[in-house]
Amino acid sequence: MRAVVFTGPGEPLRVEELTLAAPKAGEVRVRLVGAGVCHSDLHVYKGDWNHKTPLVLGHEGAGVVTAVGPGVTRPRVGDHVILSWMPACGECRFCAAGKPQLCQTAMNAVGTDAMFDGTTRLSRADGAPVYHYLSTAAFAEETVVPAAGAIAIRDDAPLEKVSIVGCAVATGFGAVVNTAEMEWGSTVAVIGCGAVGLSAIQGAKLCAATRIVAVDVLPAKLEAAQAFGATDVVDASRDDPVAAVRELTGGGVDYVFECIGLAETCEQAAAMLAFGGTAVVVGQPKAGTRPSYDALLLSCYEQRVIGSNYGSVRPTVDFPKLVDLYMDGRLMIDELITGHRPLSEAQEAFEDLIAGRAVRTVLDCGR
């Protein structure tokens, strides 16, 4: 089967014919339909994060289960599934506490770019192993993933669309609803209006935020933010975003969702807060990024800066709910997808992302 292979930072991506082994115990094989191109993939491509090579990128996808390994009862062959790059074990202390996004077993596995047993199911013609990005490897025609990383959904949802639920939508929407547990009637700022930020805006809107201020440097993304529910926009390429947000809201907002992952924007998020406010770091920074905060102000004003991993989602519960919201017309997903490309154009999809031409590009895995 064909897959997009990454061999090192700055090296061109190329499609190769790889061998995909049968799923082992606790694993399933999935014929992929669509895979979203995310900034997390771009971080690896640029060398911001270290991963093993050769590596099949992609962690946001959807498809149909074609085979299951020993002991797997769910999902079943024929199920339509969205991939989760945090295949929770269900047994560690975090899973037991209802926090599968912090699963120790999953974090250990995805950090090795392999399956739970430390081996890969992908190989080249000479037998050399090829690694699975975040134990997912979605930039491919097919993949093998842990069964807990394939979440069954309703059969009538278009897989090429809901593929982006598995990262962008879940991360942004979940940061508002799950991580922040935002109270209705709150005031909100969202820094960064890519697919994650626009999903956070939708979450804030559905939680009845009274003011949603979108912050970005690209006019097209600010225009999109208004279509997704922003009540105000701030062009950070022209105006001081902190001063603008504080002026618009009479002294700051209750919640800020930082959806870029830069030290500067993390610092801006804290500076935008009203008394008692919460800044949620949703964006994935380059390793070693260290923002600075005035700890005295955080203490005096009872402000918080917290992190959100994967929108604190419970994939088996939240993915089907998000799909239902989309199918009921209450969650905008089609509008997040600004382009489709075949696997052979993964390189061009990254270039679109770098240039700011794309919100979310979906690779059509069957072509």
Distance CA 231, CA 225 (A): 9
Rounded (10°) CA dihedral 148, 51, 336, 210: 80
Q: Is the dihedral of CA 279, 280, 282, 286 positive or negative?
A: positive
Is-catalytic flag, 207? no
Q: Which of 43, 123, 340, 344 is catalytic?
A: 43
Is-catalytic flag, 259? no
Is-catalytic flag, 299? no
Interaxial angle between packed helices 39-46 and 346-355, expressed in degrees from 0 to 180 and rounded to the nearest 10: 100
Alpha-carbon distances, residue 87 vs 50, 121, 126, 247 (angstroms): 21, 16, 30, 43
Cα of 220 vs its chain's centroid, Å = 21
Q: Which of 39, 51, 59, 80 is catalytic?
A: 59
Is-catalytic flag, 51? no
Is-catalytic flag, 135? no
Distance CA 282, CA 204 (A): 14
Alpha helices in the chain (DSSP H): 39-46, 93-96, 104-110, 159-162, 168-174, 195-206, 219-228, 241-248, 263-271, 295-300, 315-327, 346-355
Q: Which of 89, 103, 167, 193 is catalytic?
A: 167
Extract the tokens encoding 200: 């956070």
Q: Which of 39, 40, 132, 186 is catalytic?
A: 40
Amino acid at 256: V
Which sequence positions are flagged as catalytic?
38, 40, 43, 59, 167
